[in-house]
Amino acid sequence: MSFYCFQGDGGPNFAALKITYKTRIIMSFVGKKFPNIAVDAISEMGDNLKINIFEEAVNNNKKVLLFWYPKDFTFVCPTELHAFQDALPEFEKRNTVVIGASCDTNEVHFAWLNTAKNNGGIEGVTYPILADTNRNLSNILGILDIESSQYDEENDTLLIQGSNVTYRATYLVDETGKVFHESVNDMPLGRNVGEYLRLIDAYTHVQTKGEVCPANWEEGKEAMFATREGVANYLNY
């Protein structure tokens, strides 16, 4: 992709510099530290906040579940926000903070928070919601719906094809700020909240017991040691 950076005041010294960028490779953040960046957010009471997910995890010695959704005042989205709210006590039992996120403004978030559930709103949601209006964090994570982009020289702007809102991305971050799970759903597909509780249980088991968790593992089931003998014993259990 190419675009032009203009220098000067439009007079004789005005120059256009063509800069070529390589296509950004979208990488996984699993096993890496979550981006250390603060983002605007709002509380259930309408307080304007700045939240840094990395610091939220490290400074408070907690796990963080961050889930992104495309837009306020839409259709699948409120079902997910209410589902995470309903499960909030279970996340709290697991020392996990839940935070929602989209690219809407704090003002739009607050209007939605004050819209009744039976009218498509999220009244009753108590966890904070990020307002990544400048798309700094969502762009770093690579979760925006951008099909393509092209520089329009005539109008001196970058034209984007796509909605430029986020997919349904979910991140689980541990107490050290490391991402131990990420997933991205297409926009029509709502999440299964119970699966994130299972993943937190599994990761906590690994942290505390030193065992690994096989397929379909749930709390209370047998895990195994990551050795030849361990997998043999598990498969013959």
**Do 176 and 66 share a domain, yes or no?**
yes
Cα separation values, 32 from 115, 177, 211, Å: 38, 8, 21
Domain assignment present for 216: yes
**Do 143 and 34 share a domain, yes or no?**
yes
Number of domains in the chain: 2
- Torsion over CA: 152, 140, 122, 42 (sign): negative
* 213 classed as catalytic: no
Domain assignment present for 4: no
List of E strands, 80-229: 96-102, 129-131, 148-152, 157-161, 168-173, 179-185
Domain assignment present for 214: yes
**Do 183 and 231 share a domain, yes or no?**
no
**Do 136 and 186 share a domain, yes or no?**
yes
**Do 109 and 196 share a domain, yes or no?**
no
pTM metric for this prediction:
0.88
Domain assignment present for 54: yes
**Do 112 and 222 share a domain, yes or no?**
no
Domain assignment present for 154: yes
In this prediction, residue 26 carries a pLDDT of 58
Tokens of 73: 């005042």
**Do 217 and 115 share a domain, yes or no?**
no
In this prediction, residue 27 carries a pLDDT of 75
User: Is 164:135 a contact under the CB 8 Å cutoff?
Assistant: yes
* pLDDT tens series, the chain, 237 aa: 233 333 344 444 433 333 333 344 557 999 999 999 999 999 999 999 999 999 999 999 999 999 999 999 999 999 999 999 999 999 999 999 999 999 999 999 999 999 999 999 999 999 999 999 999 999 999 999 998 888 888 999 888 898 999 999 999 999 999 999 999 999 999 999 999 999 999 999 999 999 999 999 999 999 999 999 999 999 998
In this prediction, residue 150 carries a pLDDT of 87
Q: Rounded CA gap, 3 and 151, in Å?
A: 5
**Range(s) of the domain holding residue 164:** 27-191
Domain assignment present for 78: yes
Catalytic residue, chosen from 5, 77, 103, 213, is: 77
List of E strands, 84-204: 96-102, 129-131, 148-152, 157-161, 168-173, 179-185
- The residue among 156, 175, 191 that closes a domain is 191
**Do 121 and 224 share a domain, yes or no?**
no
Domain assignment present for 3: no
**Do 95 and 203 share a domain, yes or no?**
no
In this prediction, residue 1 carries a pLDDT of 29
